Structure 1
Amino acid sequence: MIIYSSTKQSFIRDFEEGCLVKKLHRTLTDKYRRVGQSEIQSWQTSLSYMANVMRDIAIPDKAGVAIEYIVPNTQKRIDFIITGQDHENKEHVIIVELKQWSEAFKVADKDNIVSTYLGGGLREVTHPSYQAWSYCSLIKTFNEDVQNRPIELHPCSFLHNFDEAIAPELRDSVYEDILSISPMFTLGQMNGLRQFIKDFIPKPDSTQIMNSIEHGKLKPSKALQDSILNMLKGNKEFVLIDDQKVEFERIKNAALHAIQNNEKAVYIVRGGPGTGKSVVAINLLVECIGSGLMAQYVTANAAPRNVYSAMLQKGYKKSEINALFASSGSFHPRPKDALQIAIVDEAHRLKEKSGMYQNEGEDQVKEIINASIFSVFFIDRNQRVTFKDAGTIDKIIKFATDQNALIYEGALESQFRCNGSDGYLAWLDNVLQIAETANYDGFEGDYDFKIFDNPNDMFTAIKEKNTPNNKARILAGYCWNWNKNGKNTNLVKDIQIPEHNFAISWNLGNSSTYAIDNSINEAGCVHTTQGLEFEYVGVIIGDDLRYENGELIVDISKRAKTDQSIKGIKKLFKEDPAKAQIIANEIVKNTYRTLMTRGQKGCYIYCTNKKLSDYFKLAFNHQLRYTYELPHTQIEAHPLVADTLSLDPDVLKSKPHKI
């Protein structure tokens, strides 16, 4: 999508007449989203510099100019593009990344990363020249017209306020490789940028190059097809097993039928935790891209996208892999059938509205179905964990029917997490009072479940489990504020349990890849771990869930003030307290269900509420009593258990919350 497209001559005239920024503002608002005052001021400043650059008489008047080009199927926006031809009539495109930075600093231990002041604090971001190069890479990789004509793309960055005499670090030797292919121009180097443009574009754009980029067919390049297939080979974490393979083949055939016949279709896949929804989804993504189809893996939550993207990129420096992973909030501006295949994981997390303030678009389910020819939704109705989660099977069917789409339904049932223990999941539903199940008195299978009275002991046990392969984590309910200050220093200990002299930080600003980072000394929450898995998890259950008078009590007021997952529920409590409490119960219980099912081999828990801990011990020790028939003396270790040994199991089944 192009927000502004013209010639050099018209661009300079629009700027001088004062209408350029107004045009940008109006078009971007109408087509895409709201524009803030800071962005308007940024245009005024940066585009004045570009107008001065383009005034060089040797740059053709009929060279093409495009501003704020939004790369298809991404939310990436290219600041400034110049198009034209060389003396041999070859087509060239120059991509300019504009920055108003006055200072920035080297980050030596990360590839092409710098730090600068943004949003009131020091932030790590990509080097501007790398950013420009990555945009070129996206266009080359996914635009068939650019690949076939061919059109040459040349990246560069222009930091017009950046004085290298004061801050020279962005030209450090660690950035040498990227600067050799994507040069950087700073304060006082306007002539250098002019010369860079003139070297490639001495003649006007007579072939409407930008139009080809805008309307070119989206198709992954042959190089990407080959690369991504190789990335998945030999990766045991993505091997399809049993009904995963069966469902994968069914979905793949339905997708191919829809694409070949240009017939809109929707596929709904039900599956509980550990049934392999994400494994099937990633295999579908790789299979589609490897077959030359344009597909994206879509989630509302960023953590699964970033983790799976990082896992596929291991051993590769291919920024285009990131373009295969999309936010569910990126679909509202996309036109009908812009994407061939949308693979939606964790569909229960889809929202109604998009954008930072949840005020853009209509409904993410509707928008995804509209923007893709074939869409597949992997969903678990019992994993709604925020007030805004709005993805339901009924809604998917409604919007699919509204768009006359074929509807397929399937299911993943075999349990491959929790040591394959369907019984543990059923017992967990029972003990959390989510649903009454046949597993009120225990579960079969060799699943390592333990209850700790001291969080330090649990932490020690989890660290031991993490030693072999970095696959154990501490997780917690969102009952402690996430403090921004000092977040990169490991000095801020967000989660404090003073009576045990225990303290741990939330993830240190690395929420996107917490699950695979070296983050054993940090705690994750449901937002950094849903859709992902570990071998062992230690879960801290906070004060938002307690046990009183034979009942589990959800207290949403004990959630942290920084928890965005319950935003809006206070208003509902005033309007309809009963409905609000039902939703609060669902969110909190589903949150702990989700956290307690992240472990493949084991789950350890610590409860801040002692009565809740006793309740879990009682329920778990009953499972030992009735499932494994341990000696009576082992059961009597806990006084609550000893008091209830005479209870008939049928009593527990009928009223699991009153033991």
Structure 2
Amino acid sequence: MIVYSNTISGFNHDVDQGIIAEKVHNELNQKGFYNSINEIRSWENSLFYMKNVLYSPSINQDLNIAIEYNIPNTSKRVDFLISGYTYTENPIVLIIELKQWEKAERTSREDIVTTYLGGSNRAVTHPSYQAYSYAKTISNFNSYIGDNNIEIKPSAYLHNYKEEYRSELENDLYTPIIKKAPIFLKKDTIKLREFISSNVKKSDQGKLLYEIDHGKIRPSKALQDAISSMLSGNDEFYMIDEQKVVFSTVKTLVEKAIINEEKYTILVEGGPGTGKSVVAINLLAEFRHKIVNYVTKNSAPRSVYFDILRKDKYSLNYIKNLFKGSGSYFNSSKNEYDLLIVDEAHRLNEKSGLFANMGENQIKEIINASKVSVFFIDEDQIVTTKDFGSINEIKKQAKELGSMIFYGEDYNLTSQFRCNGSDGYLAFLDDLLQIRDTANYDGFDGDYDIKLYTSPTEMKEDLKKLNEINNKSRIVSGYTFDWVSKSNNDIDVFDIELKDDFKAKWNFSNTQTWAIDKDSFDQVGCIHTSQGLEFDYVGVIIGKDLVYRDNKVITDYTKRAKTDQSLKGIKKNNNFVLADKIIRNTYRTLMTRGQKGCYIYCEDENLSKYIEFRLNKVLKKNN
């Protein structure tokens, strides 16, 4: 999605008239994107400097430009693009990332610098890396670019940057990435002009930008589909911004820890779809030749990875040495592993073993066993009373074991890479489920397909058609239906029976790879078999444990299935606040499994009417 486009001469005119920032602001608002007063001021500043660069006889004033291009399937936007043809008539698009930085400082971390942002010094990606990663992501997602051999050439322009700090950004440490994406500072206006004029000569009449903006978007890669290639050393996901900061930080710490026999613990926070698992698997691939494990309590993603890797001829022994359950370390010796990567750390249990009678504390045991331990955590995805993982507990155990803790804003993953890249969708869900009040009461940015059904059968039929495309659509449900089929294999016995003759069995009686099995669509998944995985489209059955009464969304833990162990001990301990949190978290997690869309059916008619009212506001806002 392009927010503003024009010829260079038209853009220059809007800048001269003092209306460029207003136009960008209005276009973003119309498309459902919130922008702050600081963002408006940054456009006024940066776009004035770009006008000074472009207003030159050496640059064709009929070339087309675009401002604030939203990268498909992400919440990221490219600042400035210029399109046209080279001297040899080849199509080309320049990406120019605009920064208002006055200074920055080098770091020892790959492609990472520090600069003053948001009231403090922050670790961020080098501007050249940011521009390069955006260019590669656009190329990966946009079919038109690949099919038509369009060159995407990234660069960065820091128009306020002070000359005395040039060596910090142009240090030899960053030479490889600067070669891929040149950087231009305050005194480099003429160099930037030459870069533009030497690369783009002839106007394309806006055709390239139009086709890129309206061209076919390649299907988003699911992590499970790319894992084999990643473990072979291939780049499948170009980590963006804070993802790269986390990756480079961990990489540096592992290298230091191996040499110096030191201990480090890194806490990485991030909501659903922010790329926690992508960073985790990239780290696993990076250190696959070291003593490293990818650790999850939840067996579903491990089973899916196992199945895919086995099909790609990886040996079972190799896979088992890479992927482990969280209860594998109570007998491990100190610093036995170079790196333990703990995904879904909020799902860790206190003790290990089938009867919780082994070991002392899983968090303590993991930190003890590794030189470097990385915990990817989202406390809003705690979904059972046994979920023990918390930021405070990890910090406590790291301190007691003498492991240096890395935690804070630099290690927060905030950008959305699922749900068609809509950051606002998660905030909308929090407001919808009344987990917390947000600014997204009436909708969210981006193009995410969310639908409400009054018939579960109709929802299933629509999802089945989508699933026939690539086997990446599934139905999931809150655990409000007894697992009858566990002890009765009769073909006519069903666990879930709803109106309109909807009948289905729970999935986990016969497979751990329901999420990718070719014949599993008719079965319904639950939180335990879908958390940590993703689909193109997900259908969510909201059971009677979530209802709408007296203008409030309320939970009822007594409506959970008798076979459900998620709320075990709630009544005995009178911990009804925790039960409420678990039920809301469960549906929030289920409703964020879809990359492209979420379809909803509610058993409670009042809840269905409430959600319908809220979705009508979304439609009204987006139209």
Bucket of the pairwise TM-score, normalised by the shorter protein: 0.5 to 0.7
Provide Cα deviations, 1:414-451, integer angstroms capped at 9, x if missing partner: 10000001111101000111111110111121000000
Report the Cα offset of residue 359 of structure 1.
Answer: 2.7
Report the Cα offset of residue 308 of structure 1.
Answer: 2.3
Residues 282 and 624 of structure 1: is their aligned pair in 2 closer, same or farther, counting only changes over 3 Å? same
Tell me the TM-score normalized by structure 1. 0.57
1:400 pairs with 2:398: yes
Distance 1:311 1:234 in 2: 16
Secondary structure in 2 aligned to 1:506? coil
The residue aligned with 1:609 is 604
Provide Cα deviations, 1:220-279, integer angstroms capped at 9, x if missing partner: xxxxxxx9777445584x553443233212211112211221111101111110011111
Q: Which of these residues, 280, 291, 294, is aligned with residue 294 of structure 1?
A: 291
Secondary structure in 2 aligned to 1:514? coil
The residue aligned with 1:594 is 589
The residue aligned with 2:504 is 504
RMSD: 1.9
Distance 1:514 1:364 in 2: 27
Contact 2:477 2:542 in 1 (8 A): yes
Unaligned runs of 5+ in 1: 1-226, 574-579, 631-659
Contact 1:231 1:313 in 2 (8 A): no
Amino acid at match of 1:611: N
Residues 490 and 539 of structure 1: is their aligned pair in 2 closer, same or farther, counting only changes over 3 Å? farther
Secondary structure in 2 aligned to 1:515? coil
The residue aligned with 2:266 is 267
Residues 312 and 231 of structure 1: is their aligned pair in 2 closer, same or farther, counting only changes over 3 Å? farther
Contact 1:345 1:378 in 2 (8 A): yes
The residue aligned with 1:307 is 304
The residue aligned with 1:281 is 280
Contact 2:547 2:554 in 1 (8 A): yes
Q: Which of these residues, 313, 318, 327, is aligned with residue 315 of structure 2?
A: 318
Secondary structure in 1 aligned to 2:617? helix
Provide Cα deviations, 1:466-499, integer angstroms capped at 9, x if missing partner: 11111100000000112354676754321111x3
Contact 1:490 1:505 in 2 (8 A): no
Secondary structure in 2 aligned to 1:378? strand
Contact 2:228 2:312 in 1 (8 A): no
Residues 273 and 510 of structure 1: is their aligned pair in 2 closer, same or farther, counting only changes over 3 Å? farther
1:529 pairs with 2:526: no
Contact 1:229 1:287 in 2 (8 A): no
Residues 295 and 512 of structure 1: is their aligned pair in 2 closer, same or farther, counting only changes over 3 Å? same
Unaligned runs of 5+ in 2: 1-226
Distance 1:313 1:287 in 2: 20
Distance 2:379 2:324 in 1: 22
Distance 2:286 2:385 in 1: 35
Distance 1:526 1:488 in 2: 23
1:561 pairs with 2:569: no
Provide Cα deviations, 1:86-125, integer angstroms capped at 9, x if missing partner: xxxxxxxxxxxxxxxxxxxxxxxxxxxxxxxxxxxxxxxx
The residue aligned with 2:460 is 459
Report the Cα offset of residue 337 of structure 1.
Answer: 1.9
Distance 2:397 2:332 in 1: 16
Contact 1:239 1:279 in 2 (8 A): no
Q: What is the 5 A alignment of 1:510-525?
A: 510-518=510-518, 519-525=520-526
Secondary structure in 2 aligned to 1:468? helix
Residues 342 and 488 of structure 1: is their aligned pair in 2 closer, same or farther, counting only changes over 3 Å? farther
Distance 2:337 2:488 in 1: 38
Distance 1:351 1:231 in 2: 28
Structure with larger RCO (C-alpha < 8 A, sep 6+): 2
Higher Cα Rg, which structure: 1
Distance 2:480 2:569 in 1: 17
Amino acid at match of 1:294: I
Residues 242 and 609 of structure 1: is their aligned pair in 2 closer, same or farther, counting only changes over 3 Å? same
Residues 494 and 585 of structure 1: is their aligned pair in 2 closer, same or farther, counting only changes over 3 Å? same
Tell me the TM-score normalized by structure 2. 0.61
Distance 1:570 1:230 in 2: 45
Amino acid at match of 1:313: R
Provide Cα deviations, 1:479-523, integer angstroms capped at 9, x if missing partner: 0112354676754321111x3211111115345211111211111
Distance 2:486 2:360 in 1: 35
The residue aligned with 2:239 is 240
Report the Cα offset of residue 567 of structure 1.
Answer: 1.3
Distance 2:249 2:309 in 1: 24
Residues 511 and 393 of structure 1: is their aligned pair in 2 closer, same or farther, counting only changes over 3 Å? farther
Distance 1:508 1:363 in 2: 28
Contact 2:230 2:285 in 1 (8 A): no
Report the Cα offset of residue 597 of structure 1.
Answer: 0.2
Residues 514 and 552 of structure 1: is their aligned pair in 2 closer, same or farther, counting only changes over 3 Å? same
The residue aligned with 1:143 is none
Secondary structure in 1 aligned to 2:558? helix
Distance 1:491 1:615 in 2: 35
Q: What is the 5 A alignment of 1:148-227?
A: none
Secondary structure in 1 aligned to 2:469? coil
1:329 pairs with 2:342: no
Provide Cα deviations, 1:554-598, integer angstroms capped at 9, x if missing partner: 11111111111111112112xxxxxx1210110000000000000
The residue aligned with 2:358 is 360
- The number of residues matched between the two structures is 392
Residues 507 and 232 of structure 1: is their aligned pair in 2 closer, same or farther, counting only changes over 3 Å? farther
Secondary structure in 2 aligned to 1:270? strand
The residue aligned with 1:84 is none
Distance 1:313 1:272 in 2: 30
Secondary structure in 2 aligned to 1:500? coil
Q: More displaced, 590-599 or 325-334?
A: 325-334
Contact 1:427 1:440 in 2 (8 A): yes
Contact 1:488 1:508 in 2 (8 A): no
Report the Cα offset of residue 345 of structure 1.
Answer: 0.1
Distance 1:516 1:271 in 2: 25
Report the Cα offset of residue 620 of structure 1.
Answer: 1.4
1:624 pairs with 2:619: yes
Secondary structure in 1 aligned to 2:583? helix
Distance 1:559 1:230 in 2: 39
Secondary structure in 1 aligned to 2:460? helix
Contact 1:265 1:405 in 2 (8 A): yes
Report the Cα offset of residue 356 of structure 1.
Answer: 1.2
Residues 623 and 507 of structure 1: is their aligned pair in 2 closer, same or farther, counting only changes over 3 Å? same
Amino acid at match of 1:553: I
Distance 1:431 1:468 in 2: 31
Contact 2:230 2:282 in 1 (8 A): no
Distance 2:308 2:367 in 1: 27
Secondary structure in 2 aligned to 1:307? helix
Amino acid at match of 2:619: L
Distance 2:231 2:371 in 1: 26
Amino acid at match of 1:513: T
Secondary structure in 1 aligned to 2:533? coil
Contact 2:485 2:494 in 1 (8 A): no
Contact 1:487 1:509 in 2 (8 A): no
Distance 1:276 1:376 in 2: 14
Residues 396 and 247 of structure 1: is their aligned pair in 2 closer, same or farther, counting only changes over 3 Å? same
Secondary structure in 2 aligned to 1:567? coil
Q: What is the 5 A alignment of 1:370-385?
A: 370-385=368-383
Distance 2:246 2:263 in 1: 19
